[in-house]
């Protein structure tokens, strides 16, 4: 990073918010996908909108690539730094600027934590609906970049469906605003919110976001059903769908995922091949009636054990196991890759059979957690990075799973984004012309390709996979692992 650029940054940031020493930069070199790492040239920590705008304009002027970073929980390398580029840490812009319970909206800065909005809205009986498993730490800015969703997105949609207005600085420094406080969002004219949300940080940085809040359901009815066969759990989902019920969430976990979750939060899950969680939500009388219907379906679906959460505590426990399942896998295996494919719901069974065949082929363990309601699979591929070639093998298996999703008519990402990880698979989903058009769009907004350079689009210099294998100290016999 050249001296003049740093000097220009110094005129925007005081020393304690401009990080340039190695010890300050290393902790930023990865997001939650540690297979990739790259040391940024500098990290800045703006505290207001003006600083961000100045920084983006400076980057544009001097053609220095930048990446915005919320909490660094991206699972696709979205907030992976650009080697020697600038990382703009937005976590300090964490103010909820306005909360209007009457209109059910909140206006927030991009670094606000997803769950913090719900916490602020709770006293008014409202909440912010999109609930990625990482909601306790991921930021709204990151959610916007990836159109994040969660277990409860079947009914009310993902991030995009809950953003009503935005203020944005585009990659070339242009400032713009669209949408507002109406639930219609943009309303008249093309839906720019829909375009910006999910653009993976390639268009620019969201500075201020208006989100809609939802009334907390009066009643939840959460059912946990245990099956001795994964396919049967999948069939149960189809039965629920066919019945005309619209649950708030339908989630499945397989044996390995259950084991991890159990190790992590002792949710007291039954010992089973597959667990299905179905949750109904809404007005009490309606939910109770739907619940009777659901019970009938579940009883017929061949579950060998059915549990119903009787209070909020039991419900929380059921969900805690599910929500912590990804990171809990860290208890079973030193390394893992999370995949995020989508298949048409009716082909879930087929997909699972093929994944287990792939498991055999590669001799790797795969834990499955998925949003069954919308066919969004999260296979977690377990490997041991200390073994030679293990990462490559895991990556190859991941690739086959993505190919499978496309073959079955689905998508290579439901909510985690393409990022760095899946950029080489983009051509499998889109034609050359479609990719060209997206690229042209990107260039029209960011002629110098400085925003999140190297992500989403295939090609470009690939960063080295992170160095794995034994620690030098381990090799020298100084430390050891049990």
Partner 1 sequence: MATAIEKCVHCGFCLAACPTYSLLGEEMDSPRGRIYLMKNVLEERLEAQDAQPYIDRCLGCMACVPACPSGVEYGDLLVSYRGAQEESRRRPPLDALARKLVIEALPYPKRFRLAAQTGAIGRVISDALPAAFASMLNLLPEKLPPRLPLPPVLPAQGERRGVVALLPGCVQQVLAPAINYAAAQVLAANGIEVHSPPDAGCCGSILLHIGAEREAQKIARRNFTVFPRDIDAIITTAAGCGSGINDYELLFKGEPDAESATAFADRVMDFGAYLAELGLLAPAGFKSERRVAYQDACHLLHAQGIQSQPRTLLRQIPNLRLLSIADAGMCCGSAGTYNIDQPDIAAALGRRKVESILAAEPDLVASGNIGCITQLRQQLALLGNPLPVMHIAELLWRAYQGDR
Partner 2 sequence: MTVSAPASVAELQALVRDSERIHAIGNGSKTALHSGLNGATHADLTKLSGIIEYQPAEYTVTVRAGTPVRELSAALREQGQYLPCDPLLPESATIGGTVAGNLSGSRRYRYGGVRDFILGAAVVDGLGRAFRVGGKVVKNSAGFDLSKFLVGSLGAYAIMTELTFKVFPDVPRFRSLAFDYERLEDALAAIYFINQNIFELDALDLKPLENSWQLLTRLAGFDETLPQRLERFSAAVMSHTSLLKIAELDDSVTLWDPLADLRGAHLVKVALSPKQVPDFDRRITAAQRRYGVGGNVAWVATENLSQVDDALQACSLTGLCLRGAVESAVIGAPVENVLASRVKQVLDPHGKLV
Ligand X SMILES: Cc1cc2nc3c(=O)[nH]c(=O)nc-3n(C[C@H](O)[C@H](O)[C@H](O)COP(=O)(O)OP(=O)(O)OC[C@H]3O[C@@H](n4cnc5c(N)ncnc54)[C@H](O)[C@@H]3O)c2cc1C
102 binds, among ligand X, partner 2, partner 1, none (CB under 5 to 8 A by kind): partner 2
Nearest to 442 by CA among 239, 106, 172: 172
In the complex, minimum distance from the CB of residue 221 to ligand X, in angstroms, rounded to a whole number: 22
65, 81, 142, 463: which one binds ligand X (CB under 6 A)? 142
Q: What is the DSSP letter of 451?
A: B
Using CB under 6 A as the binding rule, whether residue 182 contacts ligand SF4 is answered as no
Chain residue whose CB lies nearest ligand SF4: 327
Tell me the C-alpha distance between 355 and 418, whole Å.
21
| DSSP assignment letter at 216 | P
DSSP state of 358: H
Pick one of 9, 13, 30, 208: the residue that binds partner 1 (CB under 8 A). Answer: 30
The answer to whether 370 touches 416, Cβ cutoff 8 Å, is no
Q: Which residues pair with 381 in a beta bridge?
A: 337, 366
Member of 83, 180, 330, 427 binding ligand SF4 (CB under 6 A)? 330
| Helix and strand numbers, DSSP H then E, in the chain | 17, 19
Q: Is residue 173 close enough to count as binding ligand SF4 by CB under 6 A? A: no
CB 425 within 8 A of CB 459: no
Nearer to partner 1, 171 or 329 (CB): 329
Residue 330 interacting partner from ligand SF4, ligand X, partner 2, none (CB closer than 5 to 8 Å by kind): ligand SF4
Does residue number 149 form part of the binding site for ligand X (CB under 6 A)?
yes
Give the residue among 410, 433, 413 at the shortest CA–CA distance from 423: 413
The 28-47 site mask, x for binding ligand X (CB under 6 A), equals ---xx---------------
Among 115, 174, 306, 332, binds partner 2 (CB under 8 A): 174
Out of 327, 346, 411, 439, which residue is the one contacting partner 1 (CB under 8 A)? 327
Q: Which of 290, 415, 421, 446 binds ligand X (CB under 6 A)?
A: 415
SS3 of 335, please? strand
DSSP 463: P
Among candidate residues 390, 386, 387, 384, the one with its CA nearest the CA of residue 471: 386
- Comparison of 150 and 349: residue with beta carbon closer to ligand X: 150
The binder of partner 1 chosen from 5, 28, 36, 203 (CB under 8 A) = 28
Closest to ligand SF4 by CB, 101 or 330: 330
Site string for ligand X, 188-207 (x = CB under 6 A): ------------xx---xx-
Select from partner 2, partner 1, ligand SF4, none the partner in contact with residue 473, using the beta carbon and a kind-dependent cut-off of 5 to 8 Å: partner 1
Distance CA 166, CA 210 (A): 6
d(CA 159, CA 78): 17
For the four alpha carbons of 127, 133, 134 and 138, in that order, the dihedral sign comes to: negative
Nearest to 216 by CA among 140, 132, 123: 123
3-class DSSP assignment, residue 22 = helix
The answer to the question of residue 464 lying near partner 1 (CB under 8 A) is no
Residue 246 interacting with partner 2 (CB under 8 A): yes
The CA-based angle 64-4-205, given to 5 degrees, is 35
Contacts with partner 1, residue ranges (CB under 8 A) = 19, 21-24, 26-28, 30-32, 34, 45, 71-73, 89, 91-92, 113, 115, 134, 136-138, 263-265, 324-331, 334-336, 471-474, 479-482
Contacts with ligand X, residue ranges (CB under 6 A) = 31-32, 67-75, 78-79, 90, 110, 132-134, 138-139, 141-146, 148-150, 200-201, 205-206, 326-327, 415-416, 452
């Amino acid at each position: 990073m050249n001296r003049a650029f740093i000097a220009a940054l110094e005129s925007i940031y005081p020393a304690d918010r401009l990080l340039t020493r190695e010890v300050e930069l290393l902790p930023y070199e990865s997001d939650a996908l540690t297979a990739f790492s790259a040391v940024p040239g500098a990290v800045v920590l703006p505290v207001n909108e003006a600083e961000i705008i100045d920084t983006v304009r400076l980057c544009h002027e001097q053609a220095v690539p930048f990446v915005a970073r919320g909490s660094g929980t991206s699972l696709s390398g979205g907030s992976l730094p650009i080697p020697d580029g600038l990382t703009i840490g937005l976590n300090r812009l964490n103010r909820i600027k306005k909360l209007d319970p009457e209109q059910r909206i909140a206006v927030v800065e991009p670094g606000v934590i997803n769950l913090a909005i719900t916490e602020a809205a709770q006293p008014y009986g409202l909440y912010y609906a999109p609930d990625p498993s990482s909601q306790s730490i991921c930021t709204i800015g990151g959610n916007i970049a990836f159109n994040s969703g969660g277990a409860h997105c079947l009914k009310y949609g993902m991030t995009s469906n809950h953003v009503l207005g935005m203020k944005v600085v585009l990659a070339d420094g242009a400032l713009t605003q669209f949408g507002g406080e109406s639930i219609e969002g943009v309303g008249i004219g093309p839906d720019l919110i829909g375009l910006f949300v999910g653009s993976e940080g390639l268009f620019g940085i969201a500075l201020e976001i208006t989100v809609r809040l939802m009334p907390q359901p009066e009643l939840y009815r959460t059912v946990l059903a245990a099956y001795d066969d994964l396919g049967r759990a999948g069939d149960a989902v189809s039965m629920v769908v066919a019945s005309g019920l619209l649950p708030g969430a339908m989630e499945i976990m397989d044996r390995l995922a259950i084991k991890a979750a159990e190790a992590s939060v002792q949710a007291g899950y039954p010992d089973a091949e597959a667990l299905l969680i179905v949750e109904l939500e809404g007005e009490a009388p309606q939910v109770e009636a739907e619940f009777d219907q659901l019970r009938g379906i579940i009883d017929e679906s061949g579950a060998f054990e059915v549990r119903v959460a009787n209070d909020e505590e039991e419900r929380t426990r059921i969900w805690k196991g599910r929500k912590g399942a990804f990171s809990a896998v860290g208890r079973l295996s030193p390394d893992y890759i999370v995949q995020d494919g989508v298949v048409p719901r009716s082909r879930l069974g087929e997909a699972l059979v093929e994944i287990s065949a792939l498991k055999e082929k590669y001799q790797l363990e795969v834990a499955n957690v998925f949003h069954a309601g919308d066919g969004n699979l999260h296979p977690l591929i377990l490997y041991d990075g200390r073994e030679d070639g293990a990462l490559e093998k895991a990556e190859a298996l991941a690739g086959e799973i993505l190919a499978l999703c496309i073959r079955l008519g689905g998508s290579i990402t439901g909510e985690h984004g393409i990022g760095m990880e899946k950029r080489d698979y983009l051509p499998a989903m889109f034609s050359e012309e479609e990719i060209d058009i997206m690229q042209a769009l990107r260039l029209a907004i960011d002629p110098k390709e400085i925003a999140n350079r190297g992500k989403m689009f295939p090609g470009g210099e690939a960063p080295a996979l992170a160095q794995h294998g034994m620690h030098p100290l381990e090799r020298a016999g100084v430390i050891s692992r049990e």
